[in-house]
């Protein structure tokens, strides 16, 4: 079963699928280790690896290079940010081919115009619903695997209001979108209205610490009617806080020993999460050292 097929199977289950955000291979493996059924890969967070803000400056090639390692590192489906498709409908076709090649199970394309920005920032500009529907249709009709999940992200709530967002959603569903992702809800009332309007369509909701959307517990989101919830910045905010704390301790005291209890052991990260044990065992097997060591033990 491919990861896309696995995602489709998960979507048939009567539960809320929680997808914690990863920003690199280590964080992706920690998400899987924690028991999440999905890994989410945010374009906004990955932009930080290049030193750029989330304003559409990253190219498709750069995104694929970062995303490929994450897809390879985990055994659960990965849902990835595809921004606005990285250009025209031609770029969307290349994007879907590249994402499928590296094993992305699902992806979302947003209806922002350039310069695009984080969905929880002000000043967003939208393309027409027809132009975005063309990108959704291009992705749907040119995916290699019918199971690959195409998610239409709608950024209209903050720009034109809920009614325009719902009208756009209808257009994107007609174009073939599998799921709908309404970005940056501003109230629970808006969330209720859209969940009641799209009862038969799987809905994605974005939980951003400090963002515009009310940060609700997973059970509340399930009861509202959402099927997938993504937490794009949770891991990076937590990691940044801890790194800042430990680095300050190192600078001020000249040692990290006082914070070791707040850090994962060296062996757990490098031998476990990064697979040094498996690599060394593989080398020993093909170099003959494994057999030699076994003979010595006898």
pLDDT, tens digit, for every residue of 135-148? 999 999 999 999 99
Q: Which residues is 81 bridged to in the sheet?
A: 108
Q: What pLDDT score does 119 carry?
A: 67
Q: What pLDDT score does 82 carry?
A: 95
pTM (predicted TM-score): 0.91
Q: What pLDDT score does 285 carry?
A: 78
151-178 confidence digits (pLDDT tens): 999 999 999 999 999 999 999 999 999 9
Q: What is the DSSP string of 91-157?
A: HHHHHHHHHHHHT--EEEEE-BPSSP--TTSS---B--HHHHHHHHHHHHHH-SSTTSEEEEEE--H
Q: Which domains does the chain have, with CATH numbers?
A: 3-232 (3.20.20.60), 264-297 (no CATH)
Q: What pLDDT score does 212 carry?
A: 94
Omega before 248 within 30 of 0, i.e. cis: no
Between CA 244 and CA 25 the distance in angstroms is 20
Q: What pLDDT score does 290 carry?
A: 62
Structure tokens at 135: 């990108």
Q: How many CA atoms lie within 13 A of 274 on its CB side?
A: 11
Omega before 115 within 30 of 0, i.e. cis: yes
Residues recorded for the chain: 298
Q: For the chain, which residues score pLDDT lower than 50?
A: none
């Amino acid at each position: 079963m491919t990861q896309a097929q696995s995602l489709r199977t998960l979507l048939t289950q009567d539960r809320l699928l929680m997808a914690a955000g990863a920003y690199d291979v280590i964080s992706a493996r920690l998400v899987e280790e924690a028991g999440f059924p999905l890994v989410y890969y945010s374009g906004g967070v990955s932009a930080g690896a290049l030193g750029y803000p989330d304003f559409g400056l990253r190219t498709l090639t750069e995104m694929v290079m970062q995303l490929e390692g994450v897809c390879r590192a985990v055994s659960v489906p990965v849902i990835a940010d595809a921004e606005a498709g990285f250009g025209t409908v031609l770029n969307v076709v290349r994007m879907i081919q590249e994402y499928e090649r590296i094993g992305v199970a699902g992806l979302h394309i947003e209806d922002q115009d350039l310069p695009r920005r984080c969905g929880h920032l002000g000043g967003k500009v939208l393309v027409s619903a027809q132009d975005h529907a063309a990108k959704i249709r291009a992705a749907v009709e040119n995916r290699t695997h019918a199971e690959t999940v195409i998610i239409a992200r709608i950024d209209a709530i903050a720009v034109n209001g809920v009614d325009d967002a719902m009208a756009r959603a209808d257009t994107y569903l007609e174009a073939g979108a599998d799921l709908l992702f309404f970005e940056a809800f501003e109230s629970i009332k808006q969330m209720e209205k859209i969940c009641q309007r799209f009862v038969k369509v799987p809905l994605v909701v974005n939980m951003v610490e400090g963002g515009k959307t009310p940060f609700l517990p997973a059970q509340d989101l399930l009861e509202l009617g959402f099927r997938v919830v993504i937490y794009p910045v949770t891991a990076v905010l937590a990691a940044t806080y801890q790194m800042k704390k430990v680095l300050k301790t190192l600078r001020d005291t000249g040692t990290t020993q006082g914070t070791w209890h707040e850090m994962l052991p060296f062996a757990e990260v490098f031998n476990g999460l990064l697979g040094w044990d498996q690599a060394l065992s593989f080398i020993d097997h093909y170099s003959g050292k494994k057999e030699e060591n076994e003979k010595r033990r006898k």
